[in-house]
Copies of this chain bind each other. A is one copy, B any other.
Amino acid sequence: MTTAEENYLKAIYHLSEGGKKSVSTNDVAGAMKTKPASVSDMLRKLGEKEVIEYRKYYGVHITDEGKKQALQTIRKHRLWEVFLVDKLNFAWDEVHEVAEELEHIQSPLLIQRLDAFLNYPKFDPHGDPIPDEFGDVKAKPRLVLNEMEIDQMGQIVAVKDSSAAFLKYLDKVGAYIGARIKILDKTDFDGSIEILVDQKKNLFMSKEVAANILIQQS
């Protein structure tokens, strides 16, 4: 697999995550920031390698083999993120781009050793679970904050949008990975919510922000 193929496969994997049946060419183009024409070409290639099932005009399904390979790339990405934050003192909002490059280094031994060196971490700095070397993820299910009901409780374990802007905003308002939260109020009109952070701090946020925060229920 080339770097480009790995990136496409990873994108298709992520787009399939929400339980969506099939992923469209346009979706992939959007995620990859390429044009649909380029995507068609790549889908044909990935189809031939049997990491996806490709039926012209009907989008793609990722195969079990494809899933396994995508999870390997994701594993590498997240391990490197842990390395950057834990060992090289990067901020959690500075690691994505570099990890995007590092994840394509081809050396199973390297990843094995890195995993050991980092002490077999289970989550990356954004709270996302790190698949094991067989592609297994045994993380408990997570909820999207804006889909929770009043009085439900949990812990912030991840963010979907790990852009620098979003991460900085969270930091500013006092939300962070690990924070324990409780839904205090929810406005049907605009979907905005009010939460209690660590049993002491009230925090109001828009639906858009809440939709990017993942919660582990306790």
The reply to whether B90 and A101 form a contact with Cβ atoms under 8 Å apart is no
Interface residues in A, total, Cβ within 8 A:
18
The reply to whether B113 and A90 form a contact with Cβ atoms under 8 Å apart is yes
Contact of A114 among B88, B107, B109, B113 (CB under 8 A): B88
Tell me which residues across on chain B come within 8 A of A90, comparing CB atoms. Answer: 109, 113
Kindly state whether residue A150 has any CB partner on chain B within 8 Å.
no
Tell me which residues across on chain B come within 8 A of A211, comparing CB atoms. Answer: none
The reply to whether B113 and A98 form a contact with Cβ atoms under 8 Å apart is no
The reply to whether B89 and A110 form a contact with Cβ atoms under 8 Å apart is no
Kindly state whether residue A120 has any CB partner on chain B within 8 Å.
no
Tell me which residues across on chain B come within 8 A of A102, comparing CB atoms. Answer: 102, 105
CB nearest neighbor in B for A102? B105
The reply to whether B105 and A88 form a contact with Cβ atoms under 8 Å apart is no
The reply to whether A110 and B87 form a contact with Cβ atoms under 8 Å apart is no
CB nearest neighbor in B for A88? B113
Kindly state whether residue A206 has any CB partner on chain B within 8 Å.
no
The complex places the Cα of A89 from the Cα of B115 at a distance, in Å, of 12
Per-residue CB contact flags for chain A residues 127-153 toward chain B (1 = under 8 Å, else 0) read 000000000000000000000000000
CB nearest neighbor in B for A113? B88
Tell me which residues across on chain B come within 8 A of A163, comparing CB atoms. Answer: none
Q: Measuring CB to CB, which residues of chain A are less than 8 angstroms from any residue of chain B?
A: 84, 87-90, 94, 97-98, 101-102, 105-107, 109-110, 113-114, 117
| Further 10 A-B residue pairs, CB within 8 A, beyond A97-B107, A98-B110, A102-B105 | A84-B110, A87-B117, A88-B114, A88-B117, A90-B109, A90-B113, A98-B107, A101-B105, A101-B106, A102-B102
9 closest pairs, A vs B, by CB?
A88-B113, A98-B107, A101-B105, A98-B110, A88-B117, A87-B117, A102-B105, A88-B114, A89-B113
